[in-house]
Amino acid sequence: MLHKGISSDSVIKHHLKRAAWIIVGVVLFYAPFALIVKMATIIFPGASLGTVNGDVHQACLRMPISWLAQPQMLLRVLGNPLYLIVLVALPVTAFLFAPVFCGWLCPAGGFTEYLSRLVPDRFKLDFRGKVDFTPIRYGFLSGLIVTPLVTSSICCSFCNFGYMQNFVSAGFGDFSSFAYWSSTGIITLVLWLFFLGIFTKGGRGWCNFLCPAGAIQGLFSRLGMNLPWVYRIRHDKQSCSSCATCENICPPRSIERSGESLRINPYTCNACLDCVVNCPSNAISYKKGKSNES
Amino acid sequence: MEEKIAKRSKVIKIFRAGVFFAIAVAIALSMGYYRSMLALAESVSLPLNFPSGWAQSSAGDMPGHGSATGQSSTMSQGNAMSRGGAMSRGGAMSRGNAMGSGGGAGYGGPVTINIAKTGILKKLVQPNVIHMMSHRIVNKDKYPHKVKLELIGNNNNYPVHWESTRKDWNEKSKTFERMVMPGGSVNMAWDFIIPRKMLEQDVIFDGGIAVIDAQTNQRLSYLPVKIINTDASSSGKDECCAP
């Protein structure tokens, strides 16, 4: 949906830019490229990374989070510095710039988001206003950290990044990853790709509810949001025409209007900037400083 | 009055958030429980060290290699297991392994995969491919070893797909070409493709994985693996009439 007064060129340009960054994410994290693993092999020659065919598993964004309650497991970071991506690099980035990784680089989130755009809205679920994303997101994150202590770890069995790797590999002709199907894998695929992906408005249902890496970044984004020197999505109440365009196009369904004020959920906003380019009155921007309303 | 309403709505909001939070924690725990239930049948993950006590046994003592007497003598050397017939052994062995916990136990004990415990989705979609993996086959020795892996006891010649993320894995010779240094590890995943008619048997596979020094041909470790299909339980707790 394009609002009167918005240049379609700028919106198309924005989406092309985002799509290009998501492809950069694929090249960085996913086999057959896995550039980040290759770079780490050069930077950290002592690490065990040089011995493996790099793929998304070497830069896992889930396991280090599930180890947070197990200090002895966290020591594995010493053997693979790429585990620090999710423990240090992404939280710091999110603190300073909001979770730009989720909105611009994450192929697993971008894949479902862009696929969901192909499905008419009437076939999609919209969770906004019906459930509160934030407590579910952090409840699941807490559960993910606690499960290895109580029952069995769920980080590998229910991994959407692993499935994304399978799709990327299949795109390059390697279908071997689809040779084995497990019950948990089938559940993950159905939830991530279909139920919370393609058939959820915005295509970011998995990100909002079940992604631990996104939850960690959301937390750090929230922590920094009131500082004047960090970049965030800012809303200018005076310029706002209350057209609700931003509400409708926001992929993570993070924008909600109540009366005259606009509430941007700092825990789930992924700084994709779709709202910024689509706003007909330029009331939303991505910049430093405080907004006229929080 | 307005203040009271605002306060009340805030309390309701917090309560609602608490309920959502608790539900999400419960969902994660249920997923963990479901995963642990499937750990004995699907995506079996096993830690394996070498050299180990199992390697000291002669080949004839190993399960899947020799007689029934040979099996029991090897088992008595290993972990503390109940010995009350094949079925009870199966159940106890599985429990003793702490499999699927994300890498708990350091020693690779016997593995029993019971496909009767397979999840319903797997049963519907792909019941005949059985997956087993070891993220860490660790060299606990003081010396480096060139590691070769061997699947023993595949008497029915089931197709088995081997896969490692290591660059030096030589599929043809089943050898890791680089030396595994002390403390270092390799990884491997096996997919057993079982013909559907064979799935009905009580014992589908009875053999093991041997870790061999490719230079000296010395067996460094051995992990007995059994694939069974039974609803029997060693404790009887799964039976409806159990006390």
Whole-structure pTM over 0.80, yes or no?
A: yes
Which pLDDT value is given to residue A95? 97
Mean pLDDT of chain A: 92
Residue pairs spanning A and B at CB distance below 8 A: 141
pLDDT reading at A114 higher than 80: yes
pLDDT reading at A287 higher than 80: yes
Contact B43 A182 (CB under 8 A): yes
Which residues from B are below 8 Å from A268, CB to CB? none
Mean pLDDT of chain B: 77
pLDDT reading at B76 higher than 90: no
Which pLDDT value is given to residue B126? 93
Which residues from A are below 8 Å from B39, CB to CB? 152
Which pLDDT value is given to residue A6? 62
Mutating which of B9, B13, B31, B120 best tests the A interface, going by the most A Cβ atoms within 10 A? B31
Q: What is the sign of the dihedral through the CA atoms of A27, A115, A97 and A83?
A: negative
User: Span A94-102, mean pLDDT?
Assistant: 97
pLDDT level of residue B39 (50, 70, 90 thresholds): confident
**Separation CA B145–CA B3 (nearest Å):** 74
In degrees and rounded to multiples of 5, residue A47 shows phi and psi of -75, 165
pLDDT reading at A165 higher than 90: yes
Which residues from B are below 8 Å from A140, CB to CB? 24-25, 27-28
pLDDT tens for residues A6-42?
A: 678 899 999 999 999 999 999 999 999 999 999 999 9
pLDDT level of residue A257 (50, 70, 90 thresholds): confident
**Separation CA B213–CA A123 (nearest Å):** 58
Helix A133-150, helix A212-224: angle, nearest 10? 130
pLDDT tens for residues A193-225?
A: 999 999 999 999 999 999 999 999 999 999 999
Q: B32 to chain A: nearest residue by CA?
A: A152
Mutating which of A183, A187, A196, A267 best tests the B interface, going by the most B Cβ atoms within 10 A? A183
**Residues B145-175, buried b or exposed e (16+ Cβ, 10 A)?**
bbbbbebbbeeeebeeeebbbbebbeeeebb
Task: Domain ranges for chain A, please list them.
Answer: 59-224
Which pLDDT value is given to residue A74? 86
Which pLDDT value is given to residue B109? 65
pLDDT level of residue B158 (50, 70, 90 thresholds): very high
Which pLDDT value is given to residue B70? 30
Mutating which of B35, B137, B180, B185 best tests the A interface, going by the most A Cβ atoms within 10 A? B35
Nearest CB partner across the interface for A135, out of B20, B161, B165: B20
pLDDT reading at B240 higher than 90: no
Which pLDDT value is given to residue B241? 56
Which residues from B are below 8 Å from A150, CB to CB? 29, 32
**Separation CA B158–CA B170 (nearest Å):** 20
Nearest CB partner across the interface for A179, out of B31, B129, B167: B129
User: Span A172-176, mean pLDDT?
Assistant: 93
Instruction: Enter the ipTM.
Output: 0.91
Of A13-27, A242-256, B35-49, B58-72, the poorest mean pLDDT is in B58-72
In degrees and rounded to multiples of 5, residue A289 shows phi and psi of 90, 175
